Structure 1
């Protein structure tokens, strides 16, 4: 089942953001793909897949986000809310290993 669910994110400074996650029973970040929305109209996805994230392309507001970031999806249609902690931007290396690029 593929479903996008609204989620609330909170960074280490207590700043709250709205966003979404792909609801999944699998706790793999590639399945959940958490994404938050910034006030400047941009979105920050914490899953890059095979593309290594780059801070150079991030907006000024995105660069001010403090890690770790927690997220919790809203309950929907009886589905259990998903919760998680993001330590940075995640991607797969050439050996399909998940890496986390710490920001800040």
Structure 2
């Protein structure tokens, strides 16, 4: 389950390819109409929710997700030189 932070926002935990990430619900809502923004609203009713671990699970490339989450935070997309652009284009988080 998501937990409130000190400002009343909710922290969400996402497991992407075995790597755990935490972010705020408000961060995911910065890109309305995207898969992650929808996730912030559906919460536990989303099919990616794992009630045993209290997190969302995506079988995707965790390095690609690092870049995508940073894009949500900064509105700029930068990738590590080890990540092929086609991986980013094919990822269905957004």
TM-score normalised to structure 1 length: 0.29
Instruction: Considering fraction of residues, name the structure with more helix.
Output: 2
Instruction: Considering fraction of residues, name the structure with more strand.
Output: 1
